[in-house]
Structure 1
Amino acid sequence: MIYKTISLVFLFSIFSATAQKTDSIAAIDSTVAHHIKFNYKQLIIPGALIGYGVIGLESDQLLNFNSQIKKEVTEDIDEKITIDDFSQYAPAASVFALNAFGVKGKNTMRDRSVIFVTSYVIMASTVLGLKSIVHEERPDGSSNNSFPSGHTATAFAGAEFLWQEYKDKSIWYGIAGYAVATGTGLFRIYNNRHWLTDVAAGAGIGILSTKIAYWMNPYITKKLFKSSSEGHSTSMIAPFYNGQQYGLSFVKVF
């Protein structure tokens, strides 16, 4: 059962990346950046994932499915693998790493950074808000902040970020990002830290947060930089939460 679940989740992540390639998403060219128009079709995948997670909070069938997965996973666990503590950041970090190595993305460094910070603020606020409201117990019983998965939300927000910036270069950037994000979610289940419904909701929140950040970027950029030029440096601070620690990240754009 657990192997079938892993396969289905992985295949869904690949579908998420490839399906968005065929969406009728128009881009607006400007002197500052490329911005994405709102399209209701973009809500289908994250909406389905979030809906599955929310329904799973009360659905006896999905709760039983969560328990079955937990039982099968915990039977095979010898020791925890903490790679998910690091892999959650890999997709987003790849965007800046690729740019550093000369592979230019869709947007300028300034706009890319604004989008990243906006996405992270939306994602972290949503995750923390839901955790404080829902109070779902973790599978290992360690705390009551299981829903949704913050690690998974972080990973999928980064995967969508990577997809949007580099999908015009190659579809494989997006597929790789979504594969890493899916692996992060699966390791959260494997390490007995989250239920499948937590991971699904986290994935949906992460994807949607980045989409919203792209939709908002023209307005945020206009407000932040209406009196500044492209060459001026800008500093931004964004909160982070990895499931255990709180903190701030600092971004300086030159």
Structure 2
Amino acid sequence: MLLMVFTVSAQSFDTTGIPRSSLSDSLRVVNINSPVAVKKAFPVGMLLIPATLITYGITSVGNKELKSINKEIREEIWEEQPHKLIHIDNYLQWAPAAAVYGLNALGIKGEHNLRDRTIIYGLSTAIMGTTVYATKSFSKQWRPDESDRSSFPSGHTATAFAAAEFLRKEYWKVSPWYGVAGYAVAATTGYLRMYNNKHWLSDVVAGAGIGILSTDLAYYLYPTVKRLFVKEKKGATMAAPFYQQGVVGLSLVHSF
């Protein structure tokens, strides 16, 4: 009987008197080799370029010198060389984002899986669309063709640069040229907005900054959003509001 009691005690406790199950749990907690959740520091450096672009755009609203630059560029593009309108910018703005899914369909894997990158792009679109809509409503700047007072900033350009940064972020490890191509398409979209007499240079510059920053913020915020709202199981769904060209809606992302 004494031998049996001693055997059970030896199996349940170590020499310190701590139950083995408790000791094992403690060791798993303090194991230096186990992953530890560390709060990600805010990448302040990512603000430099978009903040510069946005600041230029905002400053131009009330600065005579920058306004004169807007008018000079409009004269060179529109008045000195009359031309027909090209509406490809309505579709070109989405091209870099479409490329992300196209490349993945071809077997070229990006940084995230389908669900994660779709939610990230949804976050980016929500941030960008809300910012553009609020700024247009507040600034009430006339377009060059005087069709309405929603010139500042350029929504097409913001959409294009948000998509270009999305493409760059997803595929920069595969090849930096994907990002270069995406930004070339975004820059073309911005130029066409001026070419079609719909925006001033400052509108385009500010739109580019908003688009880049929106995607960068989406990538920074996504780990937190995923932890709070996305469950690691089949049928995960996430909703994100969006605004584009006067249309307010809700985008739904569902993984099967």
Which residue does the alignment assign to 1:22? none
Which residue does the alignment assign to 1:133? 138
Separation (CA, whole Å) in 2 of partners of 1:53 and 1:139: 15
Contact 1:77/1:190 (CA < 8 Å) preserved in 2? no
Which residue does the alignment assign to 2:6? none
1:84 aligns with 2:89: yes
Separation (CA, whole Å) in 2 of partners of 1:174 and 1:247: 28
Greater CA deviation, 128-137 or 231-240? 231-240
Offset of residue 253 of structure 1 = 2.5
Amino acid at match of 1:209: S
Contact 2:154/2:204 (CA < 8 Å) preserved in 1? yes
Which residue does the alignment assign to 1:103? 108
Offset of residue 232 of structure 1 = 1.0
Alignment equivalent of 1:233, drawn from 220, 224, 235:
235
Separation (CA, whole Å) in 1 of partners of 2:41 and 2:86: 40
Q: CA RMSD in A?
A: 1.9
Contact 1:167/1:174 (CA < 8 Å) preserved in 2? yes
Greater CA deviation, 239-248 or 156-165? 239-248
1:119 aligns with 2:117: no
What secondary structure sits across from 1:56 in the alignment?
Answer: helix
Offset of residue 250 of structure 1 = 4.0
Alignment equivalent of 2:182, drawn from 171, 177, 200:
177
Which residue does the alignment assign to 2:46? 42
Separation (CA, whole Å) in 2 of partners of 1:208 and 1:113: 17
Higher Cα Rg, which structure: 2
Separation (CA, whole Å) in 2 of partners of 1:46 and 1:223: 28
Separation (CA, whole Å) in 2 of partners of 1:79 and 1:153: 24
Separation (CA, whole Å) in 1 of partners of 2:226 and 2:247: 30
1:52 aligns with 2:56: yes
Contact 1:138/1:145 (CA < 8 Å) preserved in 2? yes
Contact 1:150/1:241 (CA < 8 Å) preserved in 2? no
Q: What is the aligned length? A: 218
Offset of residue 154 of structure 1 = 0.4
Separation (CA, whole Å) in 2 of partners of 1:233 and 1:89: 27
Separation (CA, whole Å) in 1 of partners of 2:166 and 2:221: 14
Change (3 A) 1:46 1:169: same
Which residue does the alignment assign to 1:71? 75
Which residue does the alignment assign to 2:161? 156
Query: What CA deviation, in whole Å up to 9, does each residue of 1:137-183 have, x standing for no partner?
Result: 00000000100000000000000010000000000000000000000
What is the TM-score normalised by the length of structure 1?
Answer: 0.81
What secondary structure sits across from 1:251 in the alignment?
Answer: strand
Offset of residue 78 of structure 1 = 1.7
Which residue does the alignment assign to 2:227? 222
Offset of residue 240 of structure 1 = 4.1
What is the TM-score normalised by the length of structure 2?
Answer: 0.80
Amino acid at match of 1:243: Q
Q: Which runs of 5+ in 1 are unaligned?
A: 1-30
Greater CA deviation, 238-247 or 72-81? 238-247
Change (3 A) 1:195 1:47: same
Greater CA deviation, 231-240 or 130-139? 231-240
1:252 aligns with 2:254: yes
Separation (CA, whole Å) in 2 of partners of 1:246 and 1:192: 25
Contact 2:96/2:164 (CA < 8 Å) preserved in 1? yes
Which residue does the alignment assign to 2:245? 243
Amino acid at match of 1:97: G
